[in-house]
């Protein structure tokens, strides 16, 4: 798509991967970008970078009211980047299915990482279909391909998000609206603060994703080790699960 004629909306734009997308889109000449965040005060510097092209939007993606208000304020979006997400509770037990004290945290993860972006698509995609053009980029995770045992509820939500992405793509076939799922690997952000591996920067990740979309890819494996992990799971799923089980038994990360 021609970015110089495009209007993007990025959720969770105030930091990490979302902020990287906004900066890279500006560098690539995007006409307008709606930078959405649940706390608009965190967007002041970003809007200040280029007030003519960056529009700050208050948007907690789990709020139906705020999603509707955002859709009213941004009726011209033709590039939707569903990026905002959470990994789950700071307490390891709450991110598991049996050890958790209840399912409240799992429900919040599912609400944020699956239902909210699904509802965002339901609001922002129909106008794109009416115009006969547009692009959705869903930031899923490589952790959607297997259950990361330390973040089991996150993997479950991201797997659902990945399936939703494929379903949406099939539903939109022939509409002129493209749908890409990004199975992101390691990117240096707040969320990956405990990841000991070498990570790529949010800007490098955004460039990789936008280049892949421009090349027509729909399943995108961007960020550190994404392709390597995909290949290992696909080559021998049970051997991969055995490694995850061993890591879980050894570390029991909290």
Nearer to ligand NAP, 69 or 86 (CB): 86
Nearer to ligand NAP, 132 or 196 (CB): 196
Phi and psi at residue 55, to the nearest 5°: -110, 120
Cα three-residue angle 77-16-39, rounded to 5 degrees = 65
Closest separation between CB of residue 30 and ligand NAP, Å? Answer: 19
Tokens 């970008």 belong to 33
Binding positions for ligand NAP, 164-203, rule CB under 6 A: 184, 186-187, 189-192
Rule CB under 6 A: choose which of 12, 56, 178, 181 binds ligand NAP: 12
Nearer to ligand NAP, 6 or 189 (CB): 189
Closest separation between CB of residue 16 and ligand NAP, Å? Answer: 2
Closest separation between CB of residue 148 and ligand NAP, Å? Answer: 10
Nearer to ligand NAP, 12 or 178 (CB): 12
Nearer to ligand NAP, 41 or 98 (CB): 41
Please tell me the count of residues contacting ligand NAP according to CB under 6 A.
28
Position 65 contacts ligand NAP (CB under 6 A): no
CB 125 within 8 A of CB 80: yes
Binding mask 73-92 for ligand NAP (x = CB under 6 A): ----------xxxx------
What is the CB-side half-sphere exposure of residue 251 using CA atoms within 13 A? Answer: 12
Virtual torsion, Cα 143, 210, 231, 144, nearest 10 deg? 20
Nearer to ligand NAP, 84 or 210 (CB): 84
Binding positions for ligand NAP, 97-156, rule CB under 6 A: 112, 139, 141
Using CB under 6 A, list all residues that contact ligand NAP: 11-12, 14-18, 37-39, 59-62, 83-86, 112, 139, 141, 184, 186-187, 189-192
């Amino acid at each position: 798509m021609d970015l110089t004629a495009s209007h993007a909306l990025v959720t969770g734009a105030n930091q990490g991967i979302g902020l990287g997308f906004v900066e890279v889109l500006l560098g690539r000449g995007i006409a307008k970008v709606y930078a959405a965040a649940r706390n608009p005060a965190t967007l002041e510097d970003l809007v200040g970078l280029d007030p003519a092209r960056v529009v700050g939007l208050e948007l907690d993606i789990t709020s139906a009211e705020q999603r509707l208000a955002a859709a009213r304020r941004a009726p011209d979006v033709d590039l939707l980047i569903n990026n905002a997400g959470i990994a789950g509770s700071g307490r390891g037990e709450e991110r598991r299915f049996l050890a958790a004290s209840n399912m409240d945290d799992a429900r919040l993860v599912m609400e944020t990482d699956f239902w909210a972006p699904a509802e965002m698509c339901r609001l922002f995609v129909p106008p794109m279909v009416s115009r006969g053009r547009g692009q959705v980029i869903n930031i899923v995770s490589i952790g959607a391909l297997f259950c990361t045992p330390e973040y089991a509820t996150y993997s479950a939500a991201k797997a659902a998000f990945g399936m939703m992405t494929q379903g949406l793509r099939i539903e939109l076939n022939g509409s002129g609206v493209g749908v890409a799922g990004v199975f992101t690997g390691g990117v240096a952000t707040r969320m990956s603060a405990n990841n000991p591996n070498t990570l790529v920067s949010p800007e490098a990740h955004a460039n990789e994703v936008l280049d892949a979309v421009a090349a027509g890819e729909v399943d995108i494996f961007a960020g550190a080790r994404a392709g390597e992990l995909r290949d290992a799971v696909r080559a021998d799923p049970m051997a991969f699960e055995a490694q995850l089980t061993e890591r879980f038994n050894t570390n029991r990360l909290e």
